[in-house]
Structure 1
């Protein structure tokens, strides 16, 4: 069995909400680890993460311990960076044994070809401001300068402020969708850029399934041979996907 989740946003919200989200996620990891060959985490697992050479964000002890326990038992854990945790360094790989990917990947699992990505850098050709912002944030030079010149306490304060702004944009979109009657808050159009990307990619690549995070809406979309699965956000209605040994990919909602 193979498991997929994204957009946990550990650390987001007030302390009680953040602790509840983490406990729920750790319980899911524990359950998945009982029969998982691999667990794929497709970005924004942390609401903010910036890693210095000798300093990492405090907290997340339950999550880090569970990840280390899983990999110690031989469960493969694959971590894709998202726009909230793009500054992950080597700590998670070195201390927790997870594999880190900073770009989309194609993998073959259970006889199926999958395309895995967080989804934050796709179909932004017509958004020059966002493209510039991504270039700045992903610059290794600026990352080193930031680490050299900004105290960790200030870095965490900035990160929480920036992550809060990003989360507010998602919440505003959710609210607008609810006001217009889009499926109780689900605006399917938000996933269209990723579906469009998948359509183009599938024309030249043999892919059975596309899995994305980022949009904070769970959706299982089929269009002929095209199949895209969009993993939801764990702050509201947690969801995840499972690929069984027979090659069937299913989107599921976490039971409370």
Structure 2
């Protein structure tokens, strides 16, 4: 149906990633995508790691990303809800993004009812019950006292430390992983356990940088949104069906 409004989902853009050499090019492609969807988007879900690093001091925010922030603010100014999920790379969102761009902030999973369908939405970090090291790391990252201490570091040095950490992260090792087997993945196993308690139509996650759209049972699909590093991918729900797509600019 012409003019039909759609819900869009995207994750793992990793804007400004020091491990990558084409950050400006990727940002401009992402901006073009935001420009293209603005005429038919009714709601946008940014499911984490949109920024490779984000930290808000009380008076300072990271340099860059002006065009992306402007496009997001334009969408919310039009009355379009934009949901921003903190990921493991951009966990330190406080009040700047919600107040200045109008995004709806989610620090945890969120269950949405959309056109009679139930969506379980999350970035996906923290759903792997076997990754105890990450649970410890997340407690450190979200500790209020440690955040206060980090804020005392000069932003230039703080961002230098953050970028060094990012270069050593899984992002820098992409392409070296073993073949991805979705049903062996802990996020998929989490979804299986959740289904034993509650019915759900869609599980939609980021984090893994994989493109996955598989049936779990006759009513439920498990979705991984890919990324904007290799796949330039996103999800779209037209009110009836969900599709994973790659941005045509790079098709």
Work out whether the TM-score is over 0.5: yes
Note if contact 2:47-2:122 (Cα within 8 Å) is conserved in structure 1: yes
Distance 1:190 1:58 in 2: 40
The structure 1 segments of at least 4 consecutive aligned residues displaced by more than 2 Å after TM superposition are: 13-16, 126-130, 167-170, 174-177, 188-191
Match of 2:158? Answer: 155
SS of 2:27 mapped into structure 1: helix
Match of 1:215? Answer: 208
CA shift for structure 1 position 33:
1.5
CA shift for structure 1 position 123:
2.1
1:229 counterpart = 2:223: yes
Match of 2:144? Answer: 140
Distance 1:110 1:153 in 2: 46
Task: Report the structure, 1 or 2, having the larger helix content.
Answer: 1
Structure 2 unaligned regions, length at least 5: 1-5
CA shift for structure 1 position 128:
2.9
Render the CA deviation track for 1:198-253: whole Å, top value 9, x for unaligned. Answer: 011111112100000000111111122331110111111111000102x2111111
From the superposition, tell whether residues 64 and 169 of structure 1 become closer, same or farther in structure 2 (CA, over 3 Å).
closer
Note if contact 1:33-1:75 (Cα within 8 Å) is conserved in structure 2: no
Match of 1:92? Answer: 97
From the superposition, tell whether residues 199 and 176 of structure 1 become closer, same or farther in structure 2 (CA, over 3 Å).
closer
TM-score of the superposed pair, with normalisation by structure 2: 0.92
From the superposition, tell whether residues 205 and 254 of structure 1 become closer, same or farther in structure 2 (CA, over 3 Å).
same
SS of 1:235 mapped into structure 2: coil
From the superposition, tell whether residues 142 and 13 of structure 1 become closer, same or farther in structure 2 (CA, over 3 Å).
closer
168, 185, 193: which is aligned to 2:186?
193
Note if contact 1:211-1:229 (Cα within 8 Å) is conserved in structure 2: yes
CA shift for structure 1 position 163:
1.4
Structure 1 unaligned regions, length at least 5: none
